[in-house]
A and B are shown apart, each in its own frame.
Chain A
């Protein structure tokens, strides 16, 4: 049985995004965002009968039973794949609602990545990090920027990809954050600003790196049938998949260093959805680093391997470009919520609620997740 159009995203919610906003704990932030998403769907908190709590988000399913008075939570799970978790959770939730286990699954996240536990510090607590921790950390390979940089450098050496092409992604994403209005970064960025920013881990400059921010976001995944009676236009999940790279925990040992989990997930999702990359009108692409966007565009089939640099040039990812990407400002300029904000934005776009950042006439799009050294997830959706 395929998950094709068995589930819909029925509610979206988020808090204000920023750095040091003093809006509450990571738990409080995801409660606030969850209540907003549940109200957006036209549901009551007690209607939630499934929760996929995020391993990165400081809450467990029990917190929602307690705080929302959920009388009978029938489904709980986690999808511990770092930044790929949120989109992978759509797959878990779709499987649960389509099999009748439950009807409305809440996917919440809240983080105080700026004022609380810094996101960069989280890596060292993950079991996935043990091998790097033993063999590479003592050499100075400590932070995600350093761990991912050799992939970007190899792409540059093999294909002639340039830092200015990475800058195109950062600049376009910033422009979208400003249009969105609810974003940590509010000042315009130019390619020259990017090129002048300090080097973090070559080839990554400061503006190639995502934010650490405070905020919350949540979505509700409902069975496609249950979604018919709710408040918002239905946004159906047409295709969804997760994938894990070979040598998942150590990039250094990966047979093809550039190959990521999305390479396995993307064909599954497109086949399930019955569409091709040419049908995608808007794409929210996980952007922990600029290069990671470029590489995923290749694996998704928007361009050939090695041609991601040329693909993103000349504002191609802007609202009027060939493929509008990260119309909310992404992790680079809106907020680091492990990509839950990417799901919120895709649904907003497909409903036609994108306001100043709306992609004209968009009714079909996709969202990706990327995390824990290269796990991948992707969901393709359309407005019914």
Chain B
């Protein structure tokens, strides 16, 4: 099957989500509850990231979001998504 690398725009729409209340790992206890978004990127593939900048009660399928990146302390750089403006 032919395949190639392509740069994604980081823009997409909310495909689904969960609000994680019970921390299944101690490392996530302080930030619970947190929202895991499943995002369908405009290029077709999906990506996951935590939600920032929106009350989860306002989430709906198809909401446009854009990626950003966060790093806490010496931890890994992780993708997060915010509502896209305009």
B41-82 with Cβ < 8 A to chain A: 45-50, 56, 60-61, 76, 78-79
- One digit per residue, 1 when the CB lies within 8 angstroms of any chain B CB and 0 when it does not, for chain A 123-166 equals 00000000000011011111101100111011001100000000
Q: Which residues of B contact A153 (CB under 8 A)?
A: 16-18
Q: A136 to B36, alpha carbons, bound, how many Å?
A: 9
Quick check: B78 and A138 within 8 Å, CB to CB?
yes
Most buried by A among B16, B19, B21: B16
Name the distance in Å between B3's Cβ and chain A's nearest Cβ. Answer: 14
Q: Which residues of A contact B28 (CB under 8 A)?
A: 140, 142
A182-223 with Cβ < 8 A to chain B: 198-204
Q: A221 to B69, alpha carbons, bound, how many Å?
A: 54
Quick check: B20 and A252 within 8 Å, CB to CB?
no
B11 an interface residue at 8 Å Cβ cutoff?
no
Most buried by B among A136, A139, A150, A202: A139
A257 an interface residue at 8 Å Cβ cutoff?
yes
Quick check: B18 and A202 within 8 Å, CB to CB?
yes
Nearest residue, chain B, Cβ from A251: B38
Q: B19: which of A138, A143, A158, A201 is its contact (CB, 8 Å)?
A: A201
Quick check: A145 and B45 within 8 Å, CB to CB?
no
Quick check: B24 and A142 within 8 Å, CB to CB?
yes
- One digit per residue, 1 when the CB lies within 8 angstroms of any chain B CB and 0 when it does not, for chain A 249-268 equals 00011000100000000000
Name the distance in Å between A287's Cβ and chain B's nearest Cβ. Answer: 19
Nearest residue, chain B, Cβ from A135: B48
Q: Knowing A139-B49, A252-B46 touch, does A150 contact B21 (C-beta < 8 A)?
A: no
A120 an interface residue at 8 Å Cβ cutoff?
yes
Q: A149: which of B18, B24, B34 is its contact (CB, 8 Å)?
A: B18
Q: A139 to B79, alpha carbons, bound, how many Å?
A: 8
- What size tier do the contact residues of chain A reach? 20 to 34
Name the distance in Å between B67's Cβ and chain A's nearest Cβ. Answer: 12
> How many interface contacts (CB-CB < 8 Å) are there between A and B?
79
Name the distance in Å between A337's Cβ and chain B's nearest Cβ. Answer: 22
If over half of B's interface residues share one DSSP class (helix, strand or loop), that class is named, otherwise mixed; here it is: strand
Quick check: B24 and A143 within 8 Å, CB to CB?
yes
Most buried by B among A140, A151, A158: A140
Q: Which residues of B contact A120 (CB under 8 A)?
A: 24
Quick check: A140 and B21 within 8 Å, CB to CB?
no
Quick check: A199 and B76 within 8 Å, CB to CB?
no
Q: Which residues of B contact A200 (CB under 8 A)?
A: 21-22
Nearest residue, chain A, Cβ from B56: A202
Quick check: B25 and A141 within 8 Å, CB to CB?
no
- One digit per residue, 1 when the CB lies within 8 angstroms of any chain A CB and 0 when it does not, for chain B 7-39 equals 000000001111111101100100101101010
Q: Knowing A135-B48, A252-B46 touch, does A140 contact B16 (C-beta < 8 A)?
A: no
Most buried by A among B22, B49, B56: B22
Name the distance in Å between B50's Cβ and chain A's nearest Cβ. Answer: 6
Quick check: B15 and A146 within 8 Å, CB to CB?
no
Q: Which residues of A contact B20 (CB under 8 A)?
A: 140, 146, 201-202
Q: Which residues of B contact A149 (CB under 8 A)?
A: 18
Q: Which residues of A contact B19 (CB under 8 A)?
A: 199, 201-202
Quick check: B48 and A141 within 8 Å, CB to CB?
yes
Nearest residue, chain A, Cβ from B79: A139
Quick check: B22 and A154 within 8 Å, CB to CB?
no
Q: B16: which of A139, A142, A150, A201 is its contact (CB, 8 Å)?
A: A150
Given contacts A154-B61, A157-B16, 8 further A-B contacts (CB under 8 A): A146-B24, A153-B16, A157-B61, A199-B33, A203-B18, A252-B48, A253-B46, A257-B38
| 6 A-B pairs closest in CB distance | A149-B18, A150-B16, A202-B19, A143-B24, A154-B16, A142-B24
- The residues of A with any CB-CB pair to B shorter than 8 Å are 120, 135-136, 138-143, 145-146, 149-151, 153-154, 157-158, 198-204, 252-253, 257
6 A–B contact pairs at CB < 8 A?
A: A138-B78, A139-B48, A141-B36, A200-B22, A202-B18, A252-B47
